[in-house]
Amino acid sequence: MSIYSRIAGTGSYLPEKVLSNHDLEKMVETSDQWIQERTGIKKRHIAEAGQTTCDLAEQAAARALKAAGKTAQEIDLIVVATTTPDKIFPSTACLLQQRLGNHGCAAFDIQAVCTGFVYAMGVADKFIKTGAARTALVVGAETLSRILDWNDRGTCILFGDGAGAVVLEAADKPGILSTHLHADGAYEELLHVPGGISRGFDMEADGADPHFMQMKGNEVFKMAVNTLGRIVDETLAANGMKKSDIDWLVPHQANIRIIKATARKLSMDMDNVVVTIGEHGNTSAASVPLALDTAVKDGRIKRGETLLLEAFGGGFTWGSVLLNY
Ligand code: ACO
């Protein structure tokens, strides 16, 4: 008999400190009106000094385990998607494992920027399908605020910190119907943090601070809209499904205009699209599980419904997960 993976529980966490658009007006030349019209963002949450990605992941993971009715000891795989790990090593997944008091299960990080959670779901799904794991904790967690140039209005207004998690468990019917993962490294320069451990942090060579994110927003925007349109078609075709078979679109929360363009591609009413960007901005790998948990907890998403999760991010990377919740 085939094994599938299904979502047993979801959880999420946003740090307490809030940075509003009005707060940003005092930091860079921008306005609440511009930010809301161009992005849909009203505010974002920012981790306190000393509050790490693992701290946020731990809260989200604990909530997902509670919702799933599972103990940390039952987990036999931990995958954390993050671009902002606590340490160079050990991985944030290992740090999280220690916090949860689990000893011995496989634990590793995935780095696919904003598509990280979708990649992590794709990997965990394959572990479960092959019988290599029966209960997986999949987390997207970020402290993106640490890699932002707070003088660059083109990026600092967009991003925030947060974490989301799901517990996947083995089941005899889906669950996850398919996952689709892609990348094209040719677009490195459009969205990146230039510095790194191996390359170093050379202020002169990079012309801007290599610790911080650099983005050609307009070009990324166009690529994101086109690419997400294609991934929708690919996902439906792979499953022999029609647009109308999708009950909920749970998109990466990068920009309300990108989300609306994908919804149009699906001929989907915005009432069936989970939009949380206004409340927390773009939290990169945390954004899809944050949106998912919000709509599960407020009762919009119900068992048996068909969900399309999708994301696009630095790399470029992009992907989707189609599932029966
Ligand atoms: N406030 C006011 N004006 C601004 C701001 C701001 N915060 N930022 C830029 N502007 C100005 C620009 O300087 C420009 O002015 P000009 O016409 O005088 O030159 C004007 O607004 C228009 O700038 P654009 O960059 O063309 O604005 P656009 O409509 O493209 O919106 C944005 C910018 C919001 C960044 C958009 O391009 C976007 O969302 N891009 C995609 C981001 C994304 O999805 N990233 C992928 C995932 S992220 C990841 O993987 C880490």
- Ligand 1: residue of 28, 213, 221, 259 to mutate (most ligand atoms within 8 A of CB) is 221
Q: How many CA atoms lie within 13 A of 262 on its CB side?
A: 33
Joined tokens for residue 142: 């970020």
Reading the chain (325 residues) residue by residue, the pLDDT tens digits are 899 999 999 999 999 999 999 999 999 999 999 999 999 999 999 999 999 999 999 999 999 999 999 999 999 999 999 999 999 999 999 999 999 999 999 999 999 999 999 999 999 999 999 999 999 999 999 999 999 999 999 999 999 999 999 999 999 999 999 999 999 999 999 999 999 999 999 877 767 899 999 999 999 999 999 999 999 999 999 999 999 999 999 999 999 999 999 999 889 999 999 999 999 999 999 999 999 999 999 999 999 999 999 999 999 999 999 999 9
Question: By C-alpha distance, which of 182, 169, 208, 198 is closest to 67?
Answer: 169
Residue 275's pLDDT is: 98
31: CA distance to ligand 1 center in Å? 13
Query: What is the per-residue pLDDT for 294?
Result: 98
How many contiguous H segments (helices) and E segments (strands) does the chain have?
11, 13
Active-site positions read 114, 252, 282
Which atom number of ligand 1 is nearest to the Cα of residue 24?
A: 7
pTM (2 decimals)?
0.97
Distance 153 CA to ligand 1 centre (A): 8
Of 20, 27, 30, 38, the residue with max ligand 1 atoms within 8 A of its CB, to mutate for a pocket test, comes to: 38
CATH of span 178-324: 3.40.47.10
Alpha-carbon torsion (181, 185, 187, 193), positive or negative: positive
Pairing of strands 214-215, 248-251: unpaired
**C-beta 254 within 6 A of ligand 1:** yes
| CB of 224 closer than 6 angstroms to any ligand 1 atom | yes
Q: Where are the alpha helices (DSSP H) in 113-159?
A: 116-129, 153-156
Instruction: Indicate where the chain has its CATH 3.40.47.10 domain(s).
Output: 4-173, 178-324
- How many Cβ atoms from other residues are within 10 Å of residue 196's Cβ? 11
222 Cβ contact partners less than 8 Å away, ≥ 6 residues apart: none
Which ranges of the chain would DSSP assign to H, the alpha helix?
A: 21-25, 32-39, 53-68, 92-100, 116-129, 153-156, 203-206, 217-238, 256-265, 277-280, 287-297
Q: Under CATH, what is the fold of the domain 4-173?
A: Peroxisomal Thiolase; Chain A, domain 1 (3.40.47)
Measure the CA–CA gap between 60 and 120, rounded to whole angstroms.
Answer: 15
